[in-house]
Structure 1
């Protein structure tokens, strides 16, 4: 069996790092990409693990990374778009730069990565693109309208590509995690400055308290759990688009499918005290 190769963006932490470790343990060649490889301490390079600089906000960085990767392993089988950045707050509190950067990382950066690897996949008439979105790509939570909208966009893009790339033997898949115990709420989350919008103060504080409720976070999944779902998507041989990851993601999807969005929104409204 030919050894397979996966490229992972945003592999410096959380889901990306866990996925790099998981696939490496499974015998794959792994290219863990990140903006600052010099800061990486957990992932260790060997014959099957390479760490490559890639900034999804920089097209030249993406193109150079692809050249480096193909010069190292000759072929890529799976490209995992995982790099993510979250904006939190009411729309009017976000600066133009903050809102545009949300889309640069979560949407346009993904497109640039896909466009960079597609010529290789089309040439070999095979390949797989896996995009990590979120259950937040199917429904929206309070104060996460900007973040969730970027994931909605990626969901739509992926579904369209699922059709478009069939003729080239290229598969497209989506991973939709629920709440995950990662540092996403730390360095990868930007809460808008709301000093000029005091009318949101109580609303925001109540939401944050609910999101950090230990009873809620105790139910979150782990990056390793998501890595397992990603591995399943990459290896099951099925032409499935969407893979839910986490009990809460499955619960959210079940409620929306069988009870409808109006019921679900009323329940979330009640939960957050709106």
Structure 2
């Protein structure tokens, strides 16, 4: 029986992945920062809970060692833990930016660094990172979040060369909008006292992006794609998933960047210029249109 360790399993994609792998007969090491608060997963077949905070290397080392002791091995690591920092960059504090990178980028690196000796020794293993289509394209008010996902995409692509001689596969799952708490509880909204010039722009773009989340498929579609990546035996790197991710990523490659930015603005900025009570004389947003 194979074993997968999944980070960030308290809700959303992570919890759906635990359920899916459990249903498929896998051993699942479900890791989360507060396992004592989880009321459901511990009764699912083949699932054990472990405390792991991706920003705490000591907890990572302990969780991996305990999972190996419990199940005898780890075949697949799924780096799912993460959240979205949202808002205009100027409103983000240094602490918010650092926390976003500590979790979404360095957290992924911390887990991978700790599992690599185990995978190298067995000359086999699969590393799956839940990134985002936002690691290959961008939207307004997500600049810090996109920075983290682009970092993981580049890191993973380069890492895949280094690890292939050891038969270690690196894979990125790239969801589009998915109906999870990413759009509410897991969101960190940037605000700066006294900074009001962006208010209307952020209100409109946030409303439009939130709507995408409301209309999106659930996390189960991502769980299925993670399982596919874990079991297909290939060295394929990228797995777009969701209702719009494959299409948008294809269009992004197909058309000039200026055209694609026009498409993004027509959707995410929809209503901004129509609703504005004034039109700035020369903002960067206008000059880039």
Q: TM-score, normalised to structure 1's length?
A: 0.95
Residue in structure 2 matching 1:139, options 134, 137, 152? 137
**Structure possessing the higher radius of gyration over alpha carbons:** 2
1:185–1:218 distance in 2 versus 1, CA, 3 Å: closer
Equivalent of 2:82 in 78, 81, 84: 84
1:75-154 aligned at under 5 Å gives the runs 75-154=73-152
Q: State the alpha-carbon separation in 2 of the partners of residues 187 and 168 from structure 1.
A: 39
Correspondence for 2:209 among 188, 202, 211: 211
Matched, 1:251 2:251: no
Counterpart Cα distance in 2 of 1:8 and 1:31: 6
Distance in 1 between the 2:175 and 2:46 partners?
27
Q: Which runs of 5+ in 1 are unaligned?
A: none
Q: CA RMSD in A?
A: 1.3
CA distance in 2, matches of 1:212, 1:113: 30
Q: Do the aligned partners of 2:133 and 2:240 also contact (CA within 8 Å) in 1?
A: yes
Which residue of 1 is the match for residue 230 of structure 2?
Answer: 234
Q: Secondary structure at the match of 1:198?
A: coil
1:190 equivalent among 188, 209, 213: 188
SS in 1 for 2:104: helix
Q: Which residue of 1 aligns with 2:280?
A: none
Q: Tell me which of 215, 221, 225 is aligned to 2:221.
A: 225
Show structure 2 runs of 5+ residues with no match. 273-284
User: Does 2:53 match 1:55?
Assistant: yes
Match for residue 12 of structure 1? 10
Q: In the alignment, is the contact (CA less than 8 A) between 1:10 and 1:34 conserved in 2?
A: yes
Residue 270 of structure 1 and its aligned partner are, at CA, apart by 2.6
Segment of structure 1 superposing worse, 193-202 or 135-144: 193-202
Superposed displacement of residue 211, structure 1: 1.8
Q: Does 1:260 align with 2:256?
A: yes
Q: Number of paired residues?
A: 270
What TM-score does the superposition give when structure 2 sets the normalisation length? 0.90
